[in-house]
Structure 1
Amino acid sequence: MSTVDAFAALRVPFVRAFALARLMSFGGQVILSIAVGWELYERTGSAWSLGLVGAFELAPVLLLMVVAGNAADRYPRRNIVMLAHGILVLASAGLATIAWTNGPVDAIYFMLVLVGVARAFSSPSFGTILPQLLKPEQFINANAWVSSAGQFAAVAGPALGGMIIAASGGAGWAFVAVGFSQLSVILALLRLPAIPPPQHDPESRRSPGQIYAGFGFIRRNPLFLSAITLDLFAVLLGGAVALLPIYAKDILAIGPAGLGWLRTAPSIGSLATALAVTHLPPWRHPGRAMLIAVAGFGLATIGFGLSHNMILSLVCLFLTGACDSISVVVRVTLEQVITPDRLRGRVSAINYVFIGFSNEFGMVRAGATAAIFGPVASVVGGGIGSLLVVAIVALAWPQLPRVGPLHTLKPVEEPA
């Protein structure tokens, strides 16, 4: 009986450096979100000012998606990520200066546009570095460890950001911490090689077909299209994070401290599951595991929506994070395995936009339906919607539940 080496990926120096970079990057993002929200609400007292944060950060991502994806396929991805996080260091310094000098609120939003530009270029390159350095059979274990690093940041980041703000009496030093975290990303990535992209005919790479090749690749590959559709609509319909303040105050009556636990429970579930995946052999039927996980996500969401008990609510939210972690590991690994390296940047950019916007639109969906039908109906209806999505995807793309171990798949090559 063979044993699974849970630390196989971590024995590779590149993976350790990359996981550290992900940890510092995501941790900085979490602290930045908390610090910006605190600073804006302290200045304006307006919920609308908080809602604009997402718009100013996401607009550059949407506008630059095609450009950023093509850049990731034309230049060394490590260098692009380092440049993007250099911009984040500068934006963090700008935000700290604004906080300390009580600068104009409009300047905060300008800095958030810079943050959005940096993330637009960072994401498609950051997410496609490891496949250049590892063998396909190492992807799942490596992705599980990288996901664990991100989830640890999601658990610890809010507490660290809150403590910095509380101890310093403002958001300025929290922005400084964000700047140092992004500088740490750059230093960690210096340990990775700057791998040049595959060389192709320069004229073909500038043609409209090649610029938008990522869209065509996803459309012509039903296996990946089914996985991204499943993840996108499950998050869009099943997300309940936006309504947690209502549950904490009006339904569970557990106050702001309880709200903190509700926000943390999904991240703890994701972290625990990602660590567990590192000890498991590759799934024999990963598509089936993804469908079951998303169905579990929907059932746990329904359970949370109906719960009036804090312990049961925490358990349900823990399970939503656990199930989501499985879905993410399968989707990310599938993308890495079947996408040719010359297209990974463009495909990753599209994937990032769709998944990122599903979170934002999911919050809008939850808020709108809660305003009309009430929070319980909104959450429970979203969970039911996730179950319907699982059924539709399983019927529309039967190849997803039948797919074999991911490391046995090969890149789907297309004409250059």
Structure 2
Amino acid sequence: MSHKVVVTGLGATTPIGGDVPTTWANALKGVSGIKKLEDSWVEEYQLPVYIAGRVAQDPLESGRLSKVEAKRQDPSGQLALVAAREAWADAGFSGENAEESEGVDPLRTAVSFGTGIGGVWTLLDAWDTLREKGPRRVLPMTVPMLMPNSCAAAVSMALNARAAAQTVVSACASSTEALDLGLELIRSGKADIVIAGGAEAAIHPMPLAAFAKMQALSSRNDDPQAASRPYDVNRDGFVMGEGAAALILESEEHAKARGAKIYAELAGTGVSADSYHITAPDPQALGATRALKEALEDGDIDPTTVVHVNAHATSTPVGDIPESLALHQTFGEHTKNIAVSATKSMTGHLLGGAGALEAILTVKAIEERKAPCTINLDQQDEQIDLDVVTDARELPSGEIVAMSNSFGFGGHNAVVAFRSYES
């Protein structure tokens, strides 16, 4: 029996596109999704930072969710449903869910979804209601909507996935760890199909104020599209983004039996912990290096076949350098042959949803043999000795591997490695 796990469907809603084709096209063009926030609460709370990457397409206005569905979900759950349904449809199943699809067993279909913060809008709106109007006005759906597992639950119910509905909460590594969990669910024989991904919708005054207070956010309010500057000497912090992304993972046997299109193989994953600092990465990048090496070992990957990395690259002064160090400690001289893309420069940082989105961009890079852009890199930091892709670039033919890195507050490190697939 083969232990291969393959990717058969992709779905996303992001600051640079309402679906995967649009997001991918704009990632190749170098389109920024970062804008000034025009909400009244910016002035009301005198926020020091008021730029962010909102989703390009509202799920309700676009008709991708009904009014009833939207009302019963926190914004993060709304985005999760949109992405998961697109991925399911893209995978070519015969029905709208596992129950209705030929050859699909709902009891062997699982969900593995990540989030960094969960239903923060629901939580804080309910608190405002309680203080201003009393307990009788708090909505009865408040707890189901604010739970961090609400995204996984919503996707499970929408797609009739009954093998498991699991949630990973590991800050900005959440949805990459969700892919790791999805891989293990299939390898262990517990599932044939896993809808794996992540979602975040935390562009709210409180998180913005808190991130700004810790000096993690870029303060380029007057030039939002140039604010996210990974690897640039003038980088001054990340930019908040929102969105969701989902990948359909399947065992190779199951995918081939139904004649599915296969984008790539999810060849290996690596997860580690720094155990160093609650927010700062280990400056020696020991944990990140372990995660990279573990992903290579897990996938039985020859390091010289790695041609592309979608980097975590948040644009923080202290965060970008250790990732470069980790790549050098993992690949040595081969590092110079790896095309590195920092796509948060365009999308902003989707927190718990970032890893899944960047995994999709990595899969698309393999499929189309193109590495997406890094924008706003005017002067590369001398301490970051990487071949950074500033204009979309062709990738080699033949068997190749591309990787995606995610690192989160708390010292979470997660890496996924995708291999090109030949049937």
Question: Fold conserved (TM > 0.5)?
Answer: no
> Is the strand fraction higher in 1 or 2?
2
Between structure 1 and structure 2, the one with the greater Rg is 1
> Is the helix fraction higher in 1 or 2?
1
TM-score if structure 1 supplies the norm length?
Answer: 0.31
Comparing both chains, which one has the higher relative contact order based on Cα–Cα distances under 8 Å and sequence gaps of 6 or more? Answer: 1
TM-score if structure 2 supplies the norm length?
Answer: 0.31
